[in-house]
Structure 1
């Protein structure tokens, strides 16, 4: 996906305009994102050929980012209120949000607008009082840029006061029920503003797109998702370079089907392409198409920290932790002072048990900014790896004090409370994580684990199924579902779930060389012996001895990578392969590296138990030679040695001349 010289120049100019326009409206995160993307564009030798657009004043070149509004009325309003706009923006930059809003929208004016909005829903007379009220509540005639700044300052002021009024994190009165009281003001004001601009035939004159974004953001906070999505879609059509608007749309999409449904209605430009790739990564998708999309984008922006993070997260969600760790390491070398998404990097280092690297990362984050939520999460993960769970909780709480919507901190704090055996606090932490993002499968899985510890298996099963729905091709999710069904006595359903877990893991293994390849399982050796033992045990309880024997043999065969799999177990692929619609994977988790390449797991507790079952089965069926061989192997394994020796003696006595077996 290469760009011509002219396309590159136009893209560079569009990103420059985006930085200026977002900065003017104090959308600093969107401005930073666009500036980072702009900086990642490689310098071209033919940039000097860039044609200067018409509209410069005299012989001096004026960049399009600083052109006045193309609408003459808007341009006149912006010029007229420039002094007040600069005053309001300076107040916003100094975090005096109420003063910023009051420059253009004093409280008396907003009170009149609110009363007019409230009265418009109820019948009233046409007397002098109504006429006076209507005259007082006319919307002010100010530019869209100034109106956005004032209303946005109101929203931020409400969020700030909401955080101040909230109780201590996880305190006795912290119910998460404190609301932003300014949302109603902003929502009613924008509702009136849009309704007054709408013509009789329903058409609305073109706007800059930022007020639609603000209204959509407010509607999201009010849980009016459908209407919010409509306004956000309008915003990206009017001004597609506001990344904050794309992120709001991403947060409203919960399933891939929904993403594919709205994709044709998006503006067809590079921003839509980036949005689609980022949303797919957030939905835990992986495959050849998504990897190719990120590769094409990185051809255009080779050093983009955002796209490199997306690629690292793609590997992370695909269970290729080593590749994800390498991606984050390279990203940190390119941008050593960037803290964004380093909480994900710390999770990877934690799982890989790379304590020196995690210690270095924690020290780096602390030296850059110890009061960033990401820094607190990284330090908390480091203390968790040291098994200092109380200190880890302290840092996760600090991260949430700085940002109550920090998803990683809620989920990880739940994990720490599980370690501390505080199940009530763990459940509350996971619930708050789900409130922040209902797509967080880790929180759903954590809820399932916690309720399973409490032996409330019906609740645990419901939460495990939610997690499995978000990660349908993660074997760990289905293994949890199957184990829970087994404890509930639903062996038949448990077998189905555990077979799906085997299928998912086998797909991850069989597609380790490339993204997206699918097909039947051709290497049944790459399986988890624990899962195979569970399936065999459930078949045993169902008194289906042949199926139980086949899965026990398959479990034992994992020791040498399947080389010892007998004829009885050779055809189990048809039994396990329930579905063939997997989106594919990358590579297995680092924890199962020993299983790769047919090397096998070696002797484990699960394989030894399976061998013991097979030895007893052989004794029951009179196959004393097989029983003697298996029991002898058990003595060498060092598992259940005494019982194995007893089986050896019994098998030998039956095989000796004159014994039961000999006669």
Structure 2
């Protein structure tokens, strides 16, 4: 049955409409069938005109690009339907058959690379040589070219996952690479070189190819060039959130973020990027909170911004507020699984087992094969001390997504609990390979090597963690304890004093001892961790500096009722040893501040040990009345009672011998 040109044109329009309608309804197989049938139609002379008049076609503002897109529409719909069905190689071959890609690859290989002097290594796809004039790149629209090259990139990612061994298996080295990066990188290098202007930019580019090239360069560890291209991309099209996320992954420090944000466009999405990147770097400040409030006033029910709000409280160590924010987010978006692994971490730390059980059940009912669901369930089993089962679910999360950072770190924690230090170290190493900003993984490596009594390694990893979280007392306490074990008491004391200052940076909701008041308003915390104070005092004692040791022991005992040692001004100066400490008020403590009652820690093992040391010190200095008072208090504490009673008897015998018992018997 022969069809006229008009019939073919009408049928082509109908099939184009069918492809889009099926794709819009996520009927990908039906969309692919219609696209294949569409591309089987014979070409007609007036084909371009029929495509341009199609009601489903939205022309490009660039007339040249619009003409190319109109001409390629049928092929584009076919390629997109292949991509939707995860047939990436078929998608790429629609516009870029393997023979064409091979010719581009060979031409770039034969070209003489010009490596700038001083560069340590040349990066594939970033050579400065011009492509061979014998190869002409196909004349494609940027939309079709992006789809084809992105499909090639995804095909490489898919094969990389297929070739990887079982997670943490004997052959799983984590070194399998995406073999399509060279092809995609060299093609894009040739495309940009062909169109490069005087400033290195490609006039008429829409930003999508810069994004793809930036991703490829980031995979090849050429971070500087990748960031340059990604910034170019967001200037051309700022609504591509994937590009902003890629930029976030390339920023190692908050100082770098400050520099990069200056080169970003003035756009509301740029503010969201700054917020997101700051949280990825574990930052928290009043300025950040204010920016978040302003964004929430514009997008009050945004799940992304509500998640940022919860994470801001989480990084500020206000776990109860973070839990409430996540709970509200879950009520607004009950089927959203994004970031629920963070929520499960909070519930785990707060030991809220019923809520964690509910969350695990909810995630399992929504999608049990999402990495976030597996992490939540793994956390639940960990809270039940079923560590083998927890490892099983963390492995499952990594099978689904090997870049799932939470799963690598948490699996390392589980292996530590199982005393499998080799597997724990490997898990933590893989976590920092995924994200070198993950302080939990660095801290975990430090802990594991400390278990193995390899203190030099342990100290290095603890310092990495402390560098990422400089205002987290737990990090500096680990550094100080490690230095103490290495007989470096002076350095250990400095680190532990930094831990005291770090805890003062947080509000009283801190899980590490709180801050609140500052000694003399000068930067030393009013509420201090008795364990840290005892450790500092013990190190001073080892150094033979008994007066310093005595001062810190007294300060440790004073934490029972939230009070301070008598010479608190001197202690404030002693603790304040770093110029980069968070400054308190220069006006000193106001009288009204005392209205905020200091809640003490009560009697702890640390304060009892400090009281015992002070009692013995009083005995050595013949201050028998003080020794008797402290020993008597120890008898009532319920800690070290037998030793305290023996000390009381010794004090009384000394008092009897010196004839002072009558004056001190009432003590």
| TM-score, normalised relative to structure 1 | 0.84
CA 1:156–1:577 in structure 2 vs 1: closer, same or farther (change >3 Å)?
same
Which residue is equivalent to 2:142? 144
Give the alignment of 1:325-474 within 5 angstroms: 325-474=323-472
1:187 touches 1:215 (CA, 8 Å); kept in 2? yes
How many residue pairs match? The answer is: 584
C-alpha distance in 1, partners of 2:429/2:278? 24
Runs of 4+ in 1 over 6 A off after TM superposition: 133-136, 510-515, 660-663
Q: Which string of whole-angstrom CA distances, capped at 9 and with x for unpartnered residues, describes residues 35-75 of structure 1?
A: xxxxxxxxxxxxxxxxxxxxxxxxxxx99x97411111110
Q: CA deviation at 1:570?
A: 5.6
1:519 touches 1:580 (CA, 8 Å); kept in 2? no
C-alpha distance in 2, partners of 1:426/1:172? 14
Q: Could you list the runs of 5+ residues in structure 1 that have no partner in the other structure?
A: 1-19, 27-61, 124-132, 586-595
Which residue is equivalent to 1:606? 606
C-alpha distance in 2, partners of 1:216/1:636? 68
CA 1:518–1:249 in structure 2 vs 1: closer, same or farther (change >3 Å)?
farther
Q: CA deviation at 1:569?
A: 4.7
Which residue is equivalent to 2:578? 579
Which residue is equivalent to 2:104? 113
Q: Secondary structure at the match of 1:554?
A: helix
Q: Which string of whole-angstrom CA distances, capped at 9 and with x for unpartnered residues, describes residues 178-228 of structure 1?
A: 110111000000000111112477553121100000000000001111110
Q: CA deviation at 1:474?
A: 0.4
CA 1:491–1:189 in structure 2 vs 1: closer, same or farther (change >3 Å)?
same
1:624 touches 1:661 (CA, 8 Å); kept in 2? no
* Structure whose CA Rg is larger: 2
Q: Which has the higher contact order (CA 8 A, sep 6+)?
A: 1
Give the alignment of 1:92-131 within 5 angstroms: 92-121=83-112
Which residue is equivalent to 1:51? none
Find out whether 1:180 has 2:171 as its counterpart. Answer: no
Match of 1:191 among 176, 189, 199: 189
Which residue is equivalent to 1:591? none
Q: CA deviation at 1:659?
A: 3.8
CA 1:237–1:418 in structure 2 vs 1: closer, same or farther (change >3 Å)?
same
1:525 touches 1:557 (CA, 8 Å); kept in 2? no
Which residue is equivalent to 1:550? 551
Q: CA deviation at 1:136?
A: 6.9
C-alpha distance in 2, partners of 1:533/1:348? 29
Match of 1:87 among 56, 64, 78: 78
2:556 touches 2:606 (CA, 8 Å); kept in 1? yes
Q: Which string of whole-angstrom CA distances, capped at 9 and with x for unpartnered residues, describes residues 311-337 of structure 1?
A: 111110110000000000000001000
CA 1:91–1:597 in structure 2 vs 1: closer, same or farther (change >3 Å)?
farther
C-alpha distance in 1, partners of 2:193/2:243? 22
Q: Which string of whole-angstrom CA distances, capped at 9 and with x for unpartnered residues, describes residues 11-42 of structure 1?
A: xxxxxxxxx9xx99x9xxxxxxxxxxxxxxxx
CA 1:525–1:418 in structure 2 vs 1: closer, same or farther (change >3 Å)?
same
1:468 touches 1:474 (CA, 8 Å); kept in 2? yes
Give the alignment of 1:446-525 within 5 angstroms: 446-509=444-507, 520-521=521-522, 524-525=525-526
Q: Could you list the runs of 5+ residues in structure 2 that have no partner in the other structure?
A: 1-19, 27-53, 115-130, 585-595
Give the alignment of 1:188-337 within 5 angstroms: 188-199=186-197, 202=200, 204-337=202-335
2:108 touches 2:132 (CA, 8 Å); kept in 1? no
C-alpha distance in 2, partners of 1:566/1:135? 81
Q: CA deviation at 1:525?
A: 3.9
1:288 touches 1:514 (CA, 8 Å); kept in 2? no
1:509 touches 1:526 (CA, 8 Å); kept in 2? no
Q: Secondary structure at the match of 2:206?
A: coil
Which residue is equivalent to 2:636? 636
2:425 touches 2:445 (CA, 8 Å); kept in 1? yes
2:501 touches 2:524 (CA, 8 Å); kept in 1? no
CA 1:519–1:305 in structure 2 vs 1: closer, same or farther (change >3 Å)?
farther
Q: Secondary structure at the match of 2:326?
A: helix
Find out whether 1:527 has 2:528 as its counterpart. Answer: yes
1:550 touches 1:569 (CA, 8 Å); kept in 2? no
1:256 touches 1:283 (CA, 8 Å); kept in 2? yes
| TM-score, normalised relative to structure 2 | 0.84
Q: Which string of whole-angstrom CA distances, capped at 9 and with x for unpartnered residues, describes residues 256-288 of structure 1?
A: 111111222110111111111111111111111
Which residue is equivalent to 1:49? none
Find out whether 1:156 has 2:154 as its counterpart. Answer: yes
Which residue is equivalent to 2:652? 652
1:508 touches 1:584 (CA, 8 Å); kept in 2? no
C-alpha distance in 2, partners of 1:468/1:433? 17
Q: Which string of whole-angstrom CA distances, capped at 9 and with x for unpartnered residues, describes residues 478-516 of structure 1?
A: 00000000000000000000001001112214698999x
Q: Which string of whole-angstrom CA distances, capped at 9 and with x for unpartnered residues, describes residues 573-601 of structure 1?
A: 1111223645699xxxxxxxxxx952211
